[in-house]
Amino acid sequence: MKTIIVYASKHGCVEKCAQLLTAKIAGAVQLCNLTGEKNVQIADFDTVIIGGSIHAGRIQKEIAVFCERNKQQLLAKKLGLFLCCANLKQYEKHLKEAFPEELIQHAATVKHLGYAFYFDKMNFIERTVIRKLTGTDKTTEVIEQENIQQFVDALFA
């Protein structure tokens, strides 16, 4: 039973969620950061997990391209999709726009796994925008541990 987690992460929250998932999955797990890896092959894997985050309303382009390019293969895999985003009121909208509808329908699980604001990793503009939106410049990390467990259970239980 081989699993690959394909992800993109701007400041590290998605990456942290991918690592937390890896720690909970029995068997071989390959972590694949799409930023920097262009030719990801999923043929050898039984289970594919795809995770990204929302910045200014959009998921990372690498994730969108990966999903479109591999859609037919992904429809034949056990699939899990996860998203990190801070605006929970917009979660459903973000989700719909982030992943192709067919993949959302096919997935065994689709979850919000949390969000984080790592101010030390932001550039000046990002810091200014997020400080204005949240009213703070303190690093915040909200990881949905229960959702992570439910995500793994839905795929492997």
Ligand X SMILES: Cc1cc2nc3c(=O)[nH]c(=O)nc-3n(C[C@H](O)[C@H](O)[C@H](O)COP(=O)(O)O)c2cc1C
**Site of interaction with ligand X (CB under 6 A):** 9-14, 53-57, 84-87, 90, 94, 115-117, 122, 126, 129-130
Taking the least distance from each CB to ligand X, the nearer of 56 and 157 is: 56
Q: Give the number of other Cβ atoms within 10 Å of residue 129's Cβ.
A: 12
Nearest to 10 by CA among 44, 61, 47: 61
2 or 96: CB nearest ligand X: 96
Closer to ligand X by CB, 126 or 144: give it: 126
Interatomic CA distance for residues 151 and 157, integer angstroms: 10
In the complex, what is the shortest distance from the CB of residue 41 to ligand X, in angstroms, rounded to a whole number? Answer: 24
- Report in angstroms how near the CB of residue 52 gets to ligand X at its nearest: 7
Residue pair 76/48 in contact (Cβ under 8 Å)? The answer is: no
Instruction: At 70, list the tokens.
Output: 């591999």
CB of 75 vs ligand X, minimal distance in Å: 26
